[in-house]
Amino acid sequence: MSPESPAASVDGRTSWGLVGLGAFGFDYTAPPEGRRLVVSSRTHSTDIVVEAVQAVEPTDQLSVGGAGSKLLKLLQGEADAYIFASHGTCKWDTCAGEAILRCVGGALTDITGKDYDYGAESNHRNKIGVIAARNNHGDYVQRIPQSVVDALQAKAKM
């Protein structure tokens, strides 16, 4: 892959992983104990997104553009959770980052904790939002209010 390739990261790195072997192409710094830094959308904030982020009681929040950039923040230890309670991403936005995140023991699911289906017949939109974490994924999922889940599920039926 050439540095001009759109698949290359902004700084010219390629990140990759293999389950059982780990992930490479980035440096990881363990987060401080007790930190709950949440990364979310820089440009697609709604009342539902804000409610979901506030529900996990972040110690700090970071707004970043691009799903891949948010997932890289998790991989590097610069953020603890990626929460996006909206149908604004598609599976091609999250699949590569999810694969690498899983190589280091993390998870990316819909906002209810359900894995996304990447099969040929599946819908390409992440209709029930995204919640990802390198550690403690289930803790973040449990904090999402039912009102957020209901709102996303209602939108998904439209």
pLDDT of the residue at 117? 87
pLDDT of the residue at 10? 54
Across 127-132, average pLDDT = 94
Closest CA to 93 of 62, 132, 145: 132
User: pLDDT confidence of 7, banded at 50, 70, 90?
Assistant: very low
- Residue 139 DSSP code: H
> CA–CA separation, 78 vs 98, rounded Å?
16
pLDDT of the residue at 9? 45
Say which residue the tokens 């010219």 belong to.
12
Give the global pTM: 0.88
pLDDT of the residue at 94? 93
Per DSSP (E only), the strands in 37-145 are 37-41, 60-64, 81-84, 107-109, 130-133
